[in-house]
Amino acid sequence: MKLNLTCCLFVLENNTNTDIRKNDVLNLKVLVRKDTNSLFSIPYNGEDDMKDILSNEFKRIVGYKDIAFEQVYTIANKEYLIDGCDVIYVGIMNMENVKHVDSNYVLKNINIKDNSIITLDEEIIKYKTIQRRRGAGNEYIHKIDISDVRYRKMLLEIIITMKYIRSRLDTTDIIFKFMPKLFALEDVRTLYELLKDTSVDKSNFRKRIMKYCTRSESVIDNRGYRPTYLFTYKPLEDDAWI
């Protein structure tokens, strides 16, 4: 059976809010192939390192290769073995590193409400995750209200990838891989709430992330009534970020 290397690339876009009393607007985007409404996918040659392949391919597609890639899942459901078995990776980056977008692809706005709806640009798709017993454990079935199998497969891969990100937000540094080189602490919290589809206490969240952030000399003065300091991410060896 053919093995495909598939990647769901998420890109965070920071837009300046015209209302100075509010934080900048964060938009999450996903890279989609125009002609097939699918994620990036190529047959795996069985020889090269998968992350190296992805780095080289995305250097061509978005002009940047130092993207954070993590392996997520293998889609092997009989229904979705259309073109072979997909090994899914997630790619995470910030829009400031996107130099161009290949003409065969487009970045679409993506928002996922937990166990409810997916919004892809202007399209709204209903879905529901069902837990059921199988053997000695549980399995999760994602029911998506789309008849086209290929399109439904892409949406399934996006859901699985997003759920993977959510599962790692509280135990790894994955959230910082979305951020630009310089960021405001409030942007980290806003992104956390966007990805988790929830709200958190501002003060407690800031305490949790501060030891992983280094304050720079840069400030922005278009938020509220006092300057906002910008920070850089400071990875700590052998230490989870929370």
Q: Is residue 128 part of a domain?
A: yes
pLDDT on residue 96: 95
What confidence tier does 20 reach under pLDDT thresholds 50, 70, 90?
Answer: very low
Which pLDDT belongs to residue 238? 65
**pLDDT at residue 17 in the model:** 55
Quick one: which of 17, 16, 34 has its CA closest to 121? 34
The CA distance from 25 to 14, in Å, is: 6
214 domain-assigned: yes
38: domain CATH number is 3.90.79
Report d(CA 118, CA 151) in Å as an integer: 13
The verdict on 50 and 7 lying in the same domain is yes
pTM tops 0.75: yes
133 and 192 in a common domain: no
Tens of pLDDT, residues 120-139: 999 999 999 888 887 787 88
| Side chain identity, residue 69 | F
Total domains, the chain: 2
Closest CA to 39 of 160, 164, 158, 162: 158
The domain containing residue 103 runs over which residues? 3-168
Greater model confidence, 76 or 61: 61
- Alpha carbon distance 15, 18 (integer Å): 9
Q: What's the pLDDT tens digit per position in 166-222?
A: 999 988 889 999 999 999 999 999 999 999 988 999 999 999 898 889 999 888 765
